[in-house]
């Protein structure tokens, strides 16, 4: 099965819709391709109807809520990639994620939070191609007050 089909199936199972590719919040492009690598900008969690998820993890959101936010940020990355590439089937593999979690000083489960996005990518691209390198860490604040921001590098086919 192709990545595009797996995405449709996965979204149906989650009861989610694909969001629109997000507009930049500043002077940057959502994704930039050099050679066979696609570098995405940091993506924020937005629902399919355009609502931004906000709040601090460990305070306003628990791990489950934060994982859901990470999943939405991951969906936003897929929406950006699809808009740029035409089809997610052109993605050869996930290279790397950088996951920032807006959380309290005592919160230490950043990896569990970012798993929300990593599981989505594993479901869509398969475990072999969908799981890459990753760093997750806690930050003091994020743009527009979101709980999670994620950037990614993908290897693609031309």
122 binds a copy of itself (CB under 8 A): yes
Tokens of 10: 């996965």
Question: Do residues 36 and 155 make contact, with C-beta atoms less than 8 angstroms apart?
Answer: yes
The secondary structure of residue 17, as a DSSP letter, is: -
| From 73, 97, 124, 125, residue interacting with a copy of itself (rule: CB under 8 A) | 97
Closest distance of CB 23 from a copy of itself, Å: 12
SS3 153: strand
- Using CB under 8 A as the binding rule, the residues of this chain from 39 to 68 that contact a copy of itself are 39-42, 56
Q: Confirm or reject binding of residue 26 to a copy of itself (CB under 8 A).
A: yes
Closest contact distance (angstroms) between CB of 113 and a copy of itself is 9
- The number of C-alpha atoms within 13 Å of 47 and in the hemisphere containing its C-beta is 9
Contact 41, 31 (CB under 8 A): yes
CB of 94 to a copy of itself, least distance (A): 8
């Amino acid at each position: 099965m192709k990545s595009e089909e797996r995405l449709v199936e996965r979204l149906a199972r989650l009861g989610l819709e694909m969001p629109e590719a997000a507009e930049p919040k500043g002077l940057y492009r959502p994704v930039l391709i050099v050679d066979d690598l696609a570098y995405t900008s940091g993506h924020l969690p937005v629902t399919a109807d355009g609502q931004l998820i906000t709040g601090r993890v460990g305070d306003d959101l628990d791990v489950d809520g934060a994982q859901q936010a990470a999943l939405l940020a991951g969906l936003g990355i897929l929406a950006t990639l699809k808009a740029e590439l035409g089809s997610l089937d052109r993605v050869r593999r996930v290279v790397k994620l950088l996951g920032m979690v807006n959380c309290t000083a005592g919160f230490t489960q950043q990896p569990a939070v970012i798993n929300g996005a990593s599981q989505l990518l594993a479901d869509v691209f398969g475990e072999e191609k969908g799981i890459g390198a990753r760093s997750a860490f806690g930050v003091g604040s994020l743009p527009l007050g979101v709980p999670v921001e994620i950037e990614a590098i993908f290897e693609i086919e031309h």
